[in-house]
Amino acid sequence: MNKDIKGMCLFLGMIGLAYTALLILTMLFTGVKILKSIVFISAFSSFLISLGLTPQVKQRLVQVIKLKVAAYK
């Protein structure tokens, strides 16, 4: 995939996750029932971020997560 498209996917994914965090804060403070929207937006944003990452970065992230999980066991 082209580097520009990967960058755009990462950028849009991060904006989506920031918007999800804003929606969660709105839901907590106002009590509005928008859970389905939050789940959909966060899943789509995570997909975009995963598209934008290179395989090496994905492997390093998985290794770091495994180390953190193993530390808590």
- pTM of the complete model: 0.77
Band (55; pLDDT cuts 50, 70, 90)? confident
Q: With contact defined as beta carbons under 8 Å apart, do 4 and 12 qualify?
A: no
Sequential DSSP letters for 7-60 = HHHHHHHHHHHHHHHHHHHHHHHH----HHHHHHHHHHHHHHHHHHS-HHHHHH
pLDDT digits (tens, 9 = 90+) for 5-35: 999 999 999 999 999 999 999 999 998 899 9
CA-CA distance, 48 to 43, in Å (whole number)? 9
Band (2; pLDDT cuts 50, 70, 90)? confident
pLDDT value, residue 1 = 72
Map out the domains of the chain as residue ranges.
3-72
Band (71; pLDDT cuts 50, 70, 90)? confident
| Token code pair at residue 46 | 């995570």
